[in-house]
Amino acid sequence: MLCLKVAILGDFHFGYDRFYDDSFMQAEQALLKAQEQADLLIVAGDIFDSRTPKQEVIARSFEVFKKLHKKVIVIHGTHERRPHGFTNPVDLLVKAGFAESCHARAVVFEKDGEKVAIYGLAGVPEDYARVALERLAPRPVEGAFSIFMFHQNLKELMPLVESGLTMDDLPAGFDLYVNGHLHKNYELEKGGKRLLIPGSTVLTQVRREEKEKGFYLYDTKEKTQAYVTIVTRPFIHLALQLEGTTPLTDTLNSKLSQLDFTGKPIIRIDVEGDVKSIGQTEISGLRQAYADKCHLFINLSLEEGEEIYLGDLAELAKKNVSIRERGMLILKEVAARRNLQLDNLEEAFEMMCDAEDRELSDYFIRISSDKGKQ
């Protein structure tokens, strides 16, 4: 058996506001490096950061993908998911001929008589993921090295999430399982199933474990993987101890004066001590003072992933929930309180975000009519 090498990538988040240029440059670096070493490239969703990215983001993504000459197989993720009948940005990449989607079907790649088959499940609402798997009932392709690729939460790695798949939920019989969604790379084996998560190519949550970025290179003959790193913006983590009545500004300036700001690094500072007296104005002033030198994130709570934002965004950051996900939670709560019978809350939310007035009106008239016929 000849070996085929598969590059496993995910979560480029093109157009990510916080590190806009990084999202393109680091994904491009990973893709170009991957095609030098692999026969086939697969991307496990969240290629874009938004379900409706600006035209400039789409154009720049095309510029990245046009540099590739190897086969690319993709699924869309949770950031790109849109209601049925609406085009998501990954569909545009596919329609432009830059990639092929394996959502809800198997795509077979063949080279020198050897075959790799990728069956995909694109990002779906978390509480619908098990149902989607049951309905699709994915099966390996006979005579091919079969990969199942999806984009969801995974309970083994995120035990506190309310909804999520487990390794036991994944369809049996595949040679390899690949997941996106999580932004740190993971290797997991359970019940005879080997799972790889490549992580994001851009740092998004300013967590220490996200410092290393890259992709997996998998050898289908040896059944081994290697993690290939890419060059990223420098990430520096510091612990700062407040002492006595010394102002945070003075302590921070003393600490930062010792650092190298080459490459405008990302700096996360965990502050210990009496932080109750530190206000948002002081935090904002510090970030503004260093805005030209670095991307500064100050964490007062010592909870992994937290950072200081203004206004309500602080609460969202603490919950590690995106604004879009927060909107879904609010809609679900309102629907429950008012006894609104919406079978598909995800679809209703997406319609409210994306549809024109007439389309939205027609949608709710239709579902009301459907309810009346039951």
Ordered alpha helix ranges (H), 66-212:
89-95, 129-136
Confidence (pLDDT) at 247: 75
Q: How far apart are CA 305 and CA 219, in angstroms?
A: 34
Question: How far is the C-alpha of 339 from the C-alpha of 23, rounded, in Å?
Answer: 42
Phi, psi angle pair for 127, to nearest 5°: -80, 0
Evaluate whether 16 touches 23 at the Cβ level (below 8 Å). yes
**Per-residue pLDDT at 3:** 79
Region of residue 58 (left: phi > 0; alpha: psi -120 to 50; beta: else): alpha
What is the structure's pLDDT at 371? 47
- Residue 16's Cβ-side half-sphere holds a number of Cα atoms within 13 Å equal to 24
d(CA 359, CA 117): 38
Q: Mind giving me the DSSP string for 272-330?
A: ES--TT--HHHHHHHHHHTTTT-EEEEESS--TT----STTHHHHHHHT--HHHHHHHH
Distance CA 115, CA 146 (A): 9
The pLDDT of residue 336: 64
State residue 315's pLDDT score.
Answer: 43
Q: How much is the pTM? A: 0.80
Alpha carbons 86 and 152: distance in angstroms, whole number: 21
Q: Per residue of the chain (374 residues), give pLDDT as tens.
A: 567 999 999 999 999 998 999 999 999 999 999 999 999 999 999 999 998 999 999 999 999 999 999 999 999 999 998 877 889 999 999 999 999 999 999 999 999 989 999 999 999 888 889 999 999 999 999 999 999 999 999 999 888 777 789 999 999 999 999 999 999 999 999 999 999 999 999 998 787 777 789 999 999 999 999 999 999 999 998 888 777 666 778 888 888 888 999 999 999 988 877 666 666 677 788 888 899 999 998 887 544 444 433 333 344 444 444 556 666 667 666 666 556 655 556 556 655 655 555 555 555 555 555 544 44
> Residue 340 corresponds to which tokens in the numbers above?
């609104």
| Superfamily for domain range 5-229 | Metallo-dependent phosphatases (3.60.21.10)
What is the reported pLDDT for 70? 96
β-pairing, 186-190 vs 145-150, is unpaired
For the chain, what are the domain ranges?
5-229, 235-319, 323-373
- Nearest CA among 172, 125, 139 for reference residue 328: 125
- State the pLDDT at residue 302: 45
Q: What is the pLDDT of residue 274?
A: 66
d(CA 49, CA 78): 9
Adjacent-strand bridge partners of 186: 197
pLDDT of residue 275: 63
- Beta-bridged to residue 334, according to DSSP, are none
CA distance 301 to 270: 8
Radius of gyration for the alpha carbons in the chain, expressed in angstroms and rounded: 22
End-to-end CA, the chain: 56
